[in-house]
Structure 1
Amino acid sequence: MNKRFFHATCLMMGAVVFWQGTAFGMIAGKVVDSNGEVIAGAKVLHVPAEGHMTFSSSREYESESKLAEVMSDEGGTFAFTDDAVGGALLVLSEKGYASTSLDGKAVEDIVLTLLPWSRIEGEVTLPAYFNAERRVMVTSLIEPKYLPFVPSTVIEYRKDLYWNQAGPVDFSIEQVPGGDQVGVLLMDVRKDISSGVGVSPGLILMSKGIEVKPGETMVIDFVRQGPTVSGRFVDDEGKPLPTDWIVAQGMIFPDLGWNALSPPMPSSAGEMSREDKIVWMKQWLTSSEGKAWEAKYFEARHASRDFSYDSNTGVFRSYNLKPGDYMLLVSMTTPQQYMSRQMTANLEYRFTVNKTDSQLNEVELGDVRVKVVKTFGVGSQAPDFEVKTFDDKTIKLSDFRGKYVLIDFWATWCGPCLRETPNMKKTWDTFGKRDDFTIIALSLDPDIDAPRKYADTKGLTYHQGFLGQSGSSSVADDYQVRGIPSIWLIGPDGKIVAKDLRGSQIYDTVERMLNQ
């Protein structure tokens, strides 16, 4: 499930996140240092609303969005004369960096105060595995630390350092932005995913969250903290897996439960605007409940581990696991199916590393059975399912044999899902009274109140089923859902007519099939 791996990504990658606002007039201001002295020649970048950029030093950056760029003059002033509105500003200079969201702030008199660059140095004594290239990656979160469920402007600091030396290595990374949650990851890199060994782009051996104060040097050493945990993947019958199967997505998390990694949203979230969600989340993060969640989030983020996998033997290994409960999530595929996101097997497996195990060099889990996925697509028989509806009734897909059935996997926390609501409603309002058509929506929300209220508010009168959060039901896995919304059309004979429908395709496909 993509929601799971979305959390995995959030756990392992830090990002500076600013939320879209509206600015009126010229964006202009001044760049100064911590003493108030003006800074000339600083590079000021405007990242557009919902844009995404990454920087690694005062000179190196890249962006998926078009950036506006100016330099501060002799008086430290700058101005953007184009139509730049909203988003965020980032200042890069040899003397330091600064950043600010433009949301809710005056934009013609901004004072950006540089924070001095920090430095990270340390020693790596852990051995390299598979003769892989060694990598240290540094990521930085500034403010706000984490605001989910709303469109965002993303500015991410990320710096990579590579070397091939097998023995202990001293390393140092210059021009690191300070922060209270700077992530430092040690990885062994295997760049060839078709090799069947390792996880692209690297095997994460250790991850640490540290506080780095602006202008200071932080020392961090990577030493052994726990045992190697190993096992062997086998199929449902205990037989070895095909040697051409590779790990497409996989990670080991502390088993805190998904609610611990997902901050709760109010039951009215489905009706809230983006701006209201931002305000709610900012306020919630200052509460005792929000602070407790944030502490667990960062603890889980830096206790998570990647693992290596050798397709020739089926053996997997993860390194330096401290005592605790863990959950292993795996999706497997073949090199040929990798780009099309077709999975051959998946797994959700829980295990424990005891305190006594921490003194061992290796903890053996034995054979671990993966769930082999039946490959299917358009023309295949759709898996039958039975779900509870919002009004506590039970419905089955097979109950509607003889009709076209539009199935929508969705959730109120999923922005793209909510953007499909007008298309789903238009389709239902047009064809819902026909005897040969119906819709079944399947919610993946963690609780039933939010989707029920959303459906009532929006007047969605078609069948509303509740699956619960990822892992609570096998239906989404049976349909190989890797991300939502996931919208399918099933024919009267129970076979798949279309999948991955979005936008106008939803209405157009239903209309075409009903009128053929």
Structure 2
Amino acid sequence: MHTGHRHHRSDAPPAAMLASRGPVVMGWVLALLFAVCALGAQTTSDAQEEAGKKAAEPAQVTLVEGQVVNYVGAGELNVKITVALKNPDGSVGAVVAQSTSKELGDFVVTGPATIRGPAVVTLSKPGFTTATREVVIGGEEGVPFVDLEMQGNLPLAGKVLDGRDQEPVAGASVTAKAIYREWKATTAEDGTFTITGVPPGTAELIVEASGYGRESREVQQVENFGVITVTIKPERIIHVRTVDSAGKPVAATTVECLDPERQDYRSVVTDSEGKVTLRGIHYDAAELRVRLSHPDYVSSTQFDRLIQTSPESIETTETFVLDPAGRIVGNVLDAESRDGLAGARVSVGSDASDANPLDFSGLDGSYAIHGVPPGRVAVTVHRSGNAPDLQFVQVKTGEEAKLDITLRPPRAIKGVVVDAEGKPSPGAFVMTTDWREHETLGLRAMCDEQGRFELLDAPWDAFGLKAMAADRTEGEHTVPDDDVAEVRIVLKAAPVRADRSAVALKAGDAAPVFAFTTLQGVNLNLAELKGSYVLLDFWATWCGPCVQEVPHLLEVHKEFGQRKNFVMISASLDQSESDLRKFISARGMTWHHVFGEANGVQTAADAYGVVGIPALFLIGPDGKVVATHLRGGAIRKEVAAAMELTDPT
């Protein structure tokens, strides 16, 4: 008999145990299931809400794009661009989007697709005038494009004093010059001046006043420059007279005068008595270089005449004798139709230099070349779309020689440059050499990645070709006077010549001494440039890779060009001096430029072992090579690293 509470057996089945606990356990199970379902429902609801929000957000689109440049046409970095919609009343609302310009000055402003309608784009950067442009966003004409040149807004202030007594000079003309732009002011009674609208960067300050020599100063970082004081000295006066061999005056002679120490250039023309006076020459100018030109006389191709000033007198008189020349006139004609051909380049001389007398045929094909030296001369004609021709004519002093030249259709020479193993040589430089015992053909090409090249407007008779690769291997080939399917030039090790380095230049080597006469008539000699860093660039306007380096060179010149211990020289292998001048002028390339064999380019290229262009060398103050094979951003990097070791002035 048992007494007390009744107990379940411990080995009872689970179902029985669950049943014995009744509704309590079942309640917990139901609660747990409800919680799980509720959590799942909440998670699904949150995901749907987030997706709904994303679906409700408008897509990001391009609102405005464009490019901003500075006064030299180069892209301006870090210009702030903001976009604000216009209100219905025409006022400008809040900014709805913004961006900044990249290295090339390009920019893209993005924002929601809901932004539409008339808007105002504002472009701003310290040192420049803030500019605005009105556009329509989301219009039928597509994405607005804003193209703008930023205008400087910096002041350049100073004072001009007389160097003899330090008294102020009133009425002096003061010009701030940066590349090819100028900003002017005139000094007040107290000698002060303020030039406005100058952009950031470097500038040249030029001061001119009646009775004084022209004075110039370098201004670095206009944005951080204070007040400048310029002291000017009395002028030197140069009287020039041009006469013929009989002593008779030669009127209308162009007299170009250069003060090489100050790179002060001016050009004047003689009057009816063959006289002209140059004023404003710097008092300290001990020597001036002169170039004379006249259509009826043999003209100078270089600044090869000198004027020595006197320490005892501020006035100097110089007489120059001009030798009479002949003329060549004629027509450039189509060989089949006998019609006149316009735009042909007709030049006199034994090479393709633009320093030789030349002319371009007119619409009727006629040409007239003046200033031809007497004797038997070679006349070469080039024209796009025709084969060139070379003829000889006898020219007599003071007389006119007649020469008509007919041109045939051209032939195109295709070819490939390979190494000794028959592998293509990409980037090899191909140029024409001898043609009818002269070097006036002047055709050039560069090989593509497969080592292939093409010469257009080639002559039908035989001529020589020379190929040069970056590894200093060379190859030559004579193109025959019959039609050929393809020219094949095989490279081999270049022979060692007395005028050429036996091995490629490398850092630490002594840089070969060069002697150049620049397009501005300045004589440059490496021996005289010791103490300065020299960036020497062999290039040509027809060379695509060379042109790609121009923005990098502009950047280097903008940053370091005004440093007294830094010199930039571009030695051109172009055929046409006029084309070269147009190219460098249009792009604001204001450093030293050298052109033509007569001015030392090819001699220097040989000495430096140049077998392909572009070829850039950085030369140190000790006359030794600092770096070679410079391209792209490495140009500025090497120059900047070198300049960090020197006095920034």
Normalised by the shorter chain, which TM-score bucket? 0.3 to 0.5
> Which has the larger helix fraction?
1
Report 1 or 2 for greater relative contact order, CA contacts < 8 Å, sequence distance ≥ 6: 1
TM-score (ref. length: structure 2) = 0.34
